[in-house]
Amino acid sequence: MTKVQSGLSRRRLLELAAGAGAASIALPFARPALAQAGPIKVGVMLPYTGTYAQLGEAITNAMELYVKQKGGTLASRAIQFVKVDDESEPPKAPALASKLVQGEKVDILIGSVHSGVALAMSKIAREENVTTIIPNAGATQLTRSLCAKNIFRTSFTNTQVGLATGRTMAEAGLKKVVTCAWKYAAGDEFVAGFAETFALGGGQIVKSIDVPFPNVEFQSALAEIASIKPDAVYVFFAGGGAAKFVKDYAAANLKANIPLWGSGFLTDGVEQAIVGAGDGVKTVLHYADDIDNPENKAFRAAYLAATKKAADVYAVQGWDTMQLLEVGLQAVGGDVSKRDALNAAMSKATFASPRGPFKLSASNNPIQNFYLREYKNGANALIKTAVTAYADPGTGCRLSS
Ligand code: PHB
């Protein structure tokens, strides 16, 4: 699927073009302004089918809402989204990214949800020096050894989430844990980060169970967990797979005796699908639904009004992707040909996010709070801030200034 969408009416586009044309008559040397008068093309590579489909939709909804609230423009330039469905299938990613960058000649690239897709996509982004924002995928190396001045992330590294969760679960007094995760880059990193801080806090992983991605057949894993009887289970699944795991776990009557914990993706984006089954599941993430700040309240109200759906962490990441882009575009007066200045401004951006304060580390990954949450009655409620202003170490990233 390739959809081309503009957030602007034809009339508004003509008005903008006419305005730029008038400026070029008054100022003979203003040709670059004329060349910059059309829409900024933003290539969007996200999953719209498969187990991560609703994650891609939430990111897209929030990005479109942000631009709509700004009258269809950022830094006085019309924004045109060019969307492709990456299906969370890494082998298809190089061709899709090339189609956007070389075919559509997009000015900005945004994607994706799945780490494998983002790794393949960002290879092309690095080669072509296209300013790229990753609105979810946590593949840790993208802001460590593979970091680049034109690659930004508004989400997290998988390791960062794992580190925050391991620490929080150790602090909760849990000692023996079984981990259960999808077997691909993301699952491996969520578990590796968790293992590091959980061990430091005196905890022990007694068994790690892998499930091939995107399988949702969990019965043998649940039987193994029941026979081991650990203090708790630490899980990474997301989207459709997360909803299925939470429901299967409750149906297997494990919840009362073996507390279910996870990275927050276990209960985020699936709030309506796990009503009842998810009650009491504790998770750690850089967002909670009821974070008490004006940005979160305004964002959630606007998102609900526009989409008739409650906002989730993926929507927040989409929203902040546009906040970050706007900072960069304003710094260059909407002139995307000034790539170095655009990237430099984005790397220094600070703004108020619905998740709390937002700024980037030296490797362009968010430094952010992580929250302990408990799922209840269709929402991920804040219990406490587990770690404040927490950064991925960015090991191996060298971006000379
Ligand atoms: C990833 O593949 O990096 C990934 C996917 C879904 C999530 C989080 C991380 O919810």
What's the average pLDDT block by block, 10 residues per block, for the chain (401 residues)? Answer: 40 37 35 64 98 98 98 98 98 98 98 98 98 98 98 98 98 98 98 98 98 98 98 98 98 97 98 97 98 98 98 99 98 98 98 98 98 97 98 92 51
**Ligand 1 centroid, distance to 367 Cα (angstroms):** 18
Q: Which atom of ligand 1 is nearest to the CA of 113?
A: 5
Q: Which atom of ligand 1 is nearest to the CA of 117?
A: 2
- Can you give the length of the chain in residues? 401
**Ligand 1 centroid, distance to 262 Cα (angstroms):** 13
Place of tokens 């060019």: 82
Which residue puts its alpha carbon closest to atom 5 of ligand 1? 114
Residue 328: φ, ψ to 5°: -65, -45
Give the residue extent of every domain in the chain: 40-156+290-368, 159-285
Count CB-CB contacts under 10 A for residue 119: 18
Q: Interior CA angle at 89 toward 86 and 90, to 5°?
A: 100
**Ligand 1 centroid, distance to 334 Cα (angstroms):** 31
Query: Which of 59, 136, 284, 317 has most ligand 1 atoms within 8 Å of CB, for mutation?
Result: 136
**Ligand 1 centroid, distance to 132 Cα (angstroms):** 17
pLDDT of res. 18? 37
**Ligand 1 centroid, distance to 185 Cα (angstroms):** 9
- Amino acid identity of residue 264, one-letter, is G
Indicate the fold that domain 40-156+290-368 takes in CATH: Rossmann fold (3.40.50)
First-to-final CA distance of the chain: 39
Q: Which atom of ligand 1 is nearest to the CA of 238?
A: 10
**Ligand 1 centroid, distance to 306 Cα (angstroms):** 25
Decide: 304 and 62 in contact? Cβ < 8 Å: no
Which residue puts its alpha carbon closest to atom 7 of ligand 1? 238
DSSP string, 26-52: H-TT-HHHHHT-SPEEEEEEE-SSSTT
Residues in contact with ligand 1 by the CB-under-6-Å rule are 113-115, 136-139, 158, 186, 238, 265
Query: Same CATH fold, 159-285 and 40-156+290-368?
Result: yes
In angstroms, the CA 8 to CA 10 distance is 6
pLDDT of res. 400? 63
- Amino acid identity of residue 364, one-letter, is N
Q: Which atom of ligand 1 is nearest to the CA of 190?
A: 9
Beta-ladder partners of 281: none
**Ligand 1 centroid, distance to 17 Cα (angstroms):** 40
**Ligand 1 centroid, distance to 190 Cα (angstroms):** 9
Q: What is the pLDDT of residues 257-273, one digit of tens each?
A: 999 999 999 999 999 99
Decide: 387 and 167 in contact? Cβ < 8 Å: yes
Tokens for 260? 């279910």
40-46/282-285 β-pairing: unpaired
Decide: 350 and 359 in contact? Cβ < 8 Å: yes
**Ligand 1 centroid, distance to 236 Cα (angstroms):** 9
Query: Which of 51, 55, 112, 115 has most ligand 1 atoms within 8 Å of CB, for mutation?
Result: 115
Q: Which atom of ligand 1 is nearest to the CA of 239?
A: 10
**CATH number of the 159-285 domain:** 3.40.50.2300
Q: Which atom of ligand 1 is nearest to the CA of 268?
A: 10
Tokens for 44? 């969007």
176-183/232-236 β-pairing: parallel
